[in-house]
Structures are given as structure tokens and as C-alpha cells.
A and B are shown apart, each in its own frame.
Chain A
């Protein structure tokens, strides 16, 4: 019974959020005079095999981005710089792999590691500023995003190869490409990126570390209450540095599936904005490994389906971005509502379970507190006649 209730409550928030977002998007569409029915029909139609591959691919990338953001969020560290770390990481990997210092797969592995190092170091700048100078990581990472974009643009011009109108890094040798996985039949040659598996590995590692390791506990404790974590012996400064480095390293992985599976170089056409979508996905999934996966799939699904809107029903696909934004806002609201409701339920449970046996020696009342932020009352009755009771000295109590 309790398990079922817990599960239902867990699902309530995201479902509520999606419904709210759907309703708001419909109102928006109706207000602009679009065909709401056709919109939903197109959007929710079961995708073609080729589209399914695209959805899985972009979900994997979004997942990496979501986990990168979530690592920081778990300890109230707002790494808004996933975008910049992703670009730096992808660029460094492209350059390293293009130089092909090592043969074949070794080159790939080395380049991926370099992407992680580059992403981590870029995030590390913000961490060091925060720890040594108290600079908000939000500000620092936003600035670093901007710097990353300009820096990469500049460096591409320096080291890049010009082909026609576009400029990009040197192409990665074919021996170092990672071939796709033809998992979806009839997809017309579309394949899932081989490195989409990185998302699975990162997801499992994230789950294990957060749930079962001391480091993960320290991260969660710091996020829940920094002061309590410090008192319990957590070195918060060290934790900030480590989490930012991990967050940046994962961000460095975001570009890998596309780089080794499709683009084979880093150029001006390399996708941007994934780092920001990752923040939304992490929010949507409440930093939970499975939740982020669901969030990534929903976002990927909406984006992919949205592409057809313009062609089929003449609705601008931007409405999908708007819907995604509404979903994130709705999620924040829905989770707050559900959390309050859950807290009230729990306090009622505590009160009802404790009320009968505690009414005894100490005059406890066990009634629920009025303030939802506090626990149920368990104190002595507050009658004016309680003065002598309150003034009781330690010595007057019987030693058990």
C-alpha cells in the first residue's frame, strides 16, 4: 500500500507538469489561431523508424548534458557552464583526434579522455574562483560560456582547415570513427551513435556514485544542508572542486557521439545549445538518473516531432521550444506542490501513529503541527500551570 502510494506520488509531479504544459501550449496555439487538434495529432504520432533513431540519438546527448548539470545541482552548485565545457571538450577532442597521435581506437579513447580533461579544467576555473574568491559559480560559468564560444571560434580559425565556405578542425582518420548501431529496423540507414552508449555508462556510474558511495552521500548532504554537512566533517571546498570537475568532465563527453559518429570534425556547424537544454532536462528529471533519462527522451521526442509541424500543419516548430520551456516551469511548480502534499501526509502519519501511546507520563499530545514546515507537536501542554514542570531541574528527574 505504502509502496503504491509512494510510486503514485512520485509520478504525480511529472504527469501533472506535462498536463499543465500541454494545456498552456494548447491555449497559446488557440490564441494564435492555429489548429490545436492537428498540432497534437502530429506531435504525438508514433514516430517513423528514422525519427526514432534521431530521438534516441539526441536523447543520449541530452542525457549526458543533463547528468553533467545534475552532478552540480545535487549539491546546490549551479553549473550553468555545461554549454561552454561541452564546446571546449568537443573542440579539444576533435583537434587531438584529428592529429591522430595514436592509431585507431586508441586515438578515439585518448581524444575522449582529453575532452573530459578539457571540460573539467574549464569547469575547474569556476570552481577555483568560487572556493578561493567566493565568486558565484553561476556568474563565472555564464561568463565562461561566452569566453568558450569566442575562444573556440578563434582557435578554429588558427588551426582549422577551410573547405569552401566553412572552416573546421582537421578530419578524424576513418580508423578512429565509431560506427553506429543498427538497432532500429527499417530506419533507412540511420543508426544509433556508437558512443550513445556513453550515456548508459555515465547514467549507471552516476546512480552508483550518488546512491552508494561516501562521496555521493557527501554531495547529497551538502546539497541538503551545507552547514550540517560541514559539521559532520565534509570538506565543502574540496567537494565543490571535485563536483565541478566531474560535472565538467561529463560535459566534455556530450559532443563525443556526434564527433566520432557523424561529424568527424569540429566546425562552425557543430550543434550549440545542448548544454542549456541539459539544465532543463536535469530539472525535469529532478537530478534523478532515471528521471533525467525520461526528461531527455521527452525533450528529444518533442524536438524531433516538432520538425514535422511546419511541413504537415504549418505551425512553426518554435512552439515546441515554448512547450519545452513551459514544461520545465510546470515541473518546478508541480514538484513543490507534491512535496508539500507529501510532507503533510507524512506528518499526519507520524501524528496518527504516535498519538495514542504517547499520551501518558509526559503529557505529550502528539498532535500534528499547524505549520507545514514543522514537525507534529510532541510537547507538554502549554497551560499556564506548567511553570513548575518547566523549571524542573535535572536532578529531580529519576535516574532510569
Chain B
């Protein structure tokens, strides 16, 4: 793919950073391939892309945390091999991480000089230098103030100051606005413009399109691990950017016959969830999923997808609302035969309604919810346990893995063999640890496991993220087959192609609210992109 929009003249001159043909692969995943772009000195250059598009790997390569497998990096015209962050610092590259790396109980001065004590010492010389830098860029930082007494915006300035103190001329900021409130964002942008005017080069990583358009001199878009375009923010619209980010060539929608039934399987009514600080991360979610339906949830990451999944499976407490699961009459899938508990199930025709709002995660899973988690290493497998033990995970109480307080090693082992065969998991055997398998094979095993035990509902969060192409196709097939067999599926994905290709209905999640419902047969990428980014009537 080539540059879609012509670059305009932008301030600044020579190329500060030239990245050519950078590729980086991890076992089973291509993080970056053929990444090529120039950043001109004295400009603010934004890099945008969905989470998982490869931005952070690229930044780690630029900051020397990981070496690229292929390609070259030139800094100010000199080919440079960065072997470690100290190389990068020596070459004048600094990085401000999204999660601050500050010691709360130390002062600004102590935080800044920490690890670089030789430059100006730790005393008055360093203090003077910090005052000088702070005054030059309007940071308003007192070197002797304790970091714990600073607000988020000021802490971020301390991070930037740390980088400047080390003499960086090229400053990479990873999602710097993610943690800021709007006023702080304005202040940050003013600081960044100040830095640029002093001749610094700023690399600004984000997926917030409006912000990027307001601050950047140039924007490079990354999609699926590679650069797809470098555009001028003055002439590009948020819609066009969204389209570049999520892909514009949308496939033809489903030609398969719809298998959606009128039997409701999952219903959420007015579900809200608040985070620890009381801010609502999900507000007033109403949705229903029918048997045989795939409900796609679109949205830029961080808009409540994770919370939605965790609310449905009971890892997060609701602040209001109810969640109900409907199963076919005779099925209470608890292996221990506990049967009707105090809170249900109430009969409703041939279906049983289970009010899950206050049930534990285990009870919910026993009722027939399968989960393909977003982060399989954290939530899907025990990396250092053999596959047969991983088969038990989430099925501790259910046959064939266990019953009545006991674990059935034989049952779990036999069923693992079945999964390995049916789902084409490539492994020497069931005694192999999950860690030894590639991402795709781990994921196929998880899909096989979660489809076991005849679930009523499958929650698939980014089911094909980080897996190879073969496994991706296989997982898509399994989801389609499950849907034909009457499973209700909630599909969350950052990949619009995947959503449009698999879903029967697409809902868009923005800032914790469902802001639109689309028919994948009709929807255009523009419409979805607009809804996802909230670019709305602005354009």
C-alpha cells in the first residue's frame, strides 16, 4: 500500500529519523513488517494505529529495547544500530512511557538524576539544570518537590524533563494523553509545541484521531504491522484516518444463510460498571444476543470492551443493571448437580432464565459460558502446566474434568486428545506445556476447550489476535460452525474485517456506551469508523 494522500510542506527540515523496511517477528506472530517512514527534524510526527497494530513493538525497536529482524534505522542521516536503551539515549533518543516510571517517594530532582548521576551530579548543578529546563519549556516544576505530591500532568512533565535532561533531541511519547484530562492535554500540547519550536523532534503515538490531527505536523498510519500511509493532518479527515487505521477494503458480507433464531440467550439490561475511582467505564449497556447469532462489538480499544467481557463473566461487579442467561430447559450444567440455586432458574417457556447478576464466575461458567480471553497468557492458559491440566482450567467442576470435588486426570487427558485432534492443535502430546506451543496452537486449544461441554454462549475477545494465518482461518471456521449449531456469540475485535465477516449484528462501543447498531451487510467502513472514533458530526 502506498501513500494515499499527498504530503504538504511542513515545518522542519532534514530527516531526523528514517526507518526503512523494519521487520520484527515473534514466534507465531509478525509484529512488524516492511515498516518505512521518515520523521523530519523539528516536527511533531504522530504514529497512529489500533492496539495490536504493531506500534509499541516499533517504538521498542526505535528505543533499542528490541532489535529488528530486518531493516535499517538512520538517525540524522547516520545508520544506527540500537542495542539497548542506553544506546538510544546516547544517540539522543528519549522515550516517555505511558506508565510513568517515577519513584513517588523521591523528589523531582532525585527522579531526574536517578541513573544519570554523572551528567550534572546530584546536587546544585543538577538542580540548576532542572530549573533551567523547566523554565525554558514552561514546565513549572520545582526540583525539590516530592513526586507523590504532583498531579498526573506534572508527573508526565517530570518524565519529559528526565528525557530532556539526558540530552534527547528526539522524544518518543507513548500514548501520552491516555492518562490526562482535557485541560492537561491542552497543557501537554503547549509543552510539545514549545519543544518543537526549540528544534526537538517529537514522535507522538496515539489512537485518538482528533488529538493527533490537532497536534501533529505529519501522521503515519500503521495497520497490521506495517505502515500504510503518511498523511498531512491539515487535509485529512478523522474519517479518512479511521479508514486507514482499520482497513478500507471491506469484504463482501456474509453470503451464508443467517442462523439467528428468536431465542434470546444473553440479555444485559442497563448494565453499568464503575472503576475503583468511581468513574463509569460501562454505562447503561442494553443488549441481547440470540441463539445462532454472532454479535460483534466494534470500538477503539479501551472504550469498555474488556470491562464488558469481565462484567458478563462475573469478574467485575456491576454498579447497576442485570445480566440474564437463557438456557434450554433441562440443562443445568453444573457437574455437581447442585441444580436450582436460590436465585433461579425461573422457567420461561422452554427456556430457563438465570439471573446471573450476582453469581460467581464459576457458577456462570457452569451455566454454559465459554470465554476466549483477550489476553490468553494472562487469562486463558497456565503457561507452565501441561495441556491436559490446561484442559481442566475453567472446567474444574464439570465432567469430564472433575466432579464432586475431585479432578479427573484421565477424563481431562482423554478430552485433551480429542481437542488436539478436532481442533488441529499441533503439539507432540498432552504432556507438553502450553508455553512450548505457538500462539496459534495455544489459541486453537483454548477455542476447543471453551467449545467443550455444550456452551450456550461464547465470548470471543480478539480471538485471532497474535495468531498465524492458518490458525486464524481455523478459528473463524469454528466460530461459524458454533453459530450454525445455535451458539450465541459475543465477538469483540479490533479488526473490522473480522467483525464484518463473522457478525450478524455489529454494535459500537464508545467511552463505555453503545453508540450504534449496524447491519454488517449494509455498513460501510466510514460509518463504523465514524461511530468508533466519535468523529460524529464534527466532519
Contacts and interface: CB of A to CB of B under 8 A. Distances in A.
A384 interface: yes
Nearest to B378: A227
Among B29, B394, B396, B428: residue with most chain A CB under 10 A: B396
Contacts of B34: 384, 387
B397 A400 contact: no
A353 B428 contact: yes
Contacts of A384: 21, 23, 33-34
Interface stretch (A7-15, A192-200, A327-335, A375-383): A375-383
Contact of A224 (B26, B250, B385): B385
Given A215-B405, A393-B501, A397-B477, A228 B27 contact: no
Contacts of B252: 395
Contacts of A362: 468-470
Given A394-B502, A395-B251, A379 B497 contact: no
A41 interface: no
Contacts of B224: 387, 390-391
**Majority SS at the chain B contact face:** mixed
A225 interface: yes
A395 B427 CA distance: 28
B315 interface: yes
B243 to A, nearest CB: 14
A217 interface: yes
Interface stretch (A81-89, A232-240, A305-313): A232-240
A380 B502 contact: no
A379 B378 contact: no
Interface in B13-42: 21, 23, 25-30, 33-34
B360 interface: yes
A359 to B, nearest CB: 12
Contacts of B405: 213-215
Contacts of B253: 395
Nearest to B475: A394
Contact of B29 (A215, A216, A379): A379
B365 A377 contact: no
Given A231-B380, A349-B428, A391-B497, A376 B436 contact: yes
Interface in A350-399: 350, 353-354, 358, 361-364, 366, 369, 371, 373-380, 382-384, 386-387, 389-397, 399
A218 B396 contact: yes
Contacts of B288: none
A347 B34 CA distance: 29
B30 A380 contact: yes
B254 interface: yes
A371 to B, nearest CB: 7
Interface in B116-159: none
B477 A377 contact: no
Interface string A223-253: 0110111111111000000000000000000
B421 to A, nearest CB: 14
A375 B436 contact: yes
A349 to B, nearest CB: 6
Nearest to B362: A233
Quick one: which of B21, B382, B409, B438 has the most chain A CB within 10 A?
B438
Nearest to A393: B251
Contacts of A231: 313, 315, 361, 371, 373, 378-380, 394
B442 interface: yes
B468 A375 contact: no
Contacts, number: 210
A35 interface: no
Q: Give the contact-size bracket for chain B.
A: 35 or more
B407 A378 contact: no
A374 B440 CA distance: 12
A239 to B, nearest CB: 12
A214 B251 contact: no
Contacts of A235: 360-362
A377 B25 CA distance: 9
Contacts of A350: 427-428, 432, 436-437
Nearest to A360: B470
Nearest to B402: A214
B176 to A, nearest CB: 27
A221 interface: yes
B501 A379 contact: no
A375 B472 CA distance: 18
Contact of A221 (B247, B249, B393, B433): B393
A369 B27 contact: yes
Interface string B477-504: 1001000000000000000011011100
A318 to B, nearest CB: 38
A346 interface: yes
B6 interface: no
A50 interface: no
B30 A375 contact: no
B440 A379 contact: yes
| Most chain B beta-carbon contacts within 10 A, residue among A227, A233, A380 | A233
A384 B225 CA distance: 11
Given A224-B385, A376-B438, A230 B361 contact: yes
Nearest to B476: A394
B392 interface: yes
Contacts of B27: 369, 371, 374-379
Contacts of B472: 392
Interface in B370-425: 371, 373, 378-385, 389, 392-397, 402, 405-407, 409
A227 B396 CA distance: 16
A375 B282 CA distance: 36
B303 interface: no
Interface string B305-319: 000000001010000
B368 interface: no
A233 B498 contact: no
Nearest to B384: A224
A395 B501 contact: yes
B345 interface: no
A375 B428 CA distance: 13
B262 to A, nearest CB: 25
B436 A346 contact: yes
A225 B378 contact: yes
Given A217-B392, A227-B379, 20 more contacts: A212-B409, A213-B407, A220-B385, A221-B393, A228-B378, A228-B393, A229-B393, A349-B432, A350-B436, A358-B426, A362-B469, A362-B470, A373-B435, A374-B27, A375-B27, A378-B468, A379-B469, A387-B226, A391-B224, A392-B469
Interface of B: 1, 21, 23, 25-30, 33-34, 69, 224-226, 247, 249-256, 313, 315, 360-366, 371, 373, 378-385, 389, 392-397, 402, 405-407, 409, 426-428, 432-433, 435-442, 468-470, 472-473, 476-477, 480, 497-498, 500-502
Interface of A: 212-218, 220-221, 224-225, 227-235, 343, 346-347, 349-350, 353-354, 358, 361-364, 366, 369, 371, 373-380, 382-384, 386-387, 389-397, 399-400
6 contacts: A213-B405, A231-B371, A374-B27, A380-B468, A390-B225, A395-B501
Interchain residue pairs A-B with the least CB separation, the first 5: A362-B470, A233-B362, A378-B438, A394-B501, A393-B251
